[in-house]
């Protein structure tokens, strides 16, 4: 998880919830990468990991603390900010 995502979580949730989300995110992302790596070419896997799997893991890790629609909204907000910053640099 990058620093922008951690900063977003600490601004949005309390420290205990944020630490749990980070822990769940890391475990979930590792598991999804382990499952998808043998199924995809190296290029497909790199794209999936950077663009798709990170978002799914982030969303699913937040669902324990908030409802689905809020988790989706936070995920969209976090990655929209990240994308806008990338486009502006």
Q: Which residue has the higher pLDDT, 81 or 78?
A: 78
What mean pLDDT value characterizes the chain? Answer: 87
Using pLDDT thresholds of 50, 70 and 90, give the confidence band for residue 51.
Answer: confident
Looking at residue 81, its pLDDT comes to 62
The encoded tokens of residue 32 equal: 């999804």
Q: Minimal CA–CA distance to 18: which of 56, 52, 61, 59?
A: 61
* Euclidean distance between CA atoms 4 and 69, whole angstroms: 22
Domain of 82 in residue numbering reads as: 3-7+16-88
What's the mean pLDDT in 29-54?
Answer: 94
Phi, psi values for residue 63, rounded to 5°: -60, -20
Domain count within the chain: 1
pLDDT at 54 > cutoff 60: yes
Question: What is the separation of C-alpha 59 from the centre of its chain, rounded to a whole number of angstroms?
Answer: 6
């Amino acid at each position: 998880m990058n620093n922008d995502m951690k900063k977003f979580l600490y601004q949005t949730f309390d420290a205990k919830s944020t630490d749990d989300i980070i822990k769940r995110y890391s475990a979930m992302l590792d598991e999804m990468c382990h499952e998808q790596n043998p199924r995809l070419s190296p290029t497909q896997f790199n794209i999936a990991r950077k663009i798709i799997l990170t978002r799914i893991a982030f969303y699913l890790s937040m669902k324990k603390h908030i409802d689905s629609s809020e988790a989706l909204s936070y995920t969209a907000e976090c990655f929209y900010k990240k994308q806008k910053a990338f486009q502006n640099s």
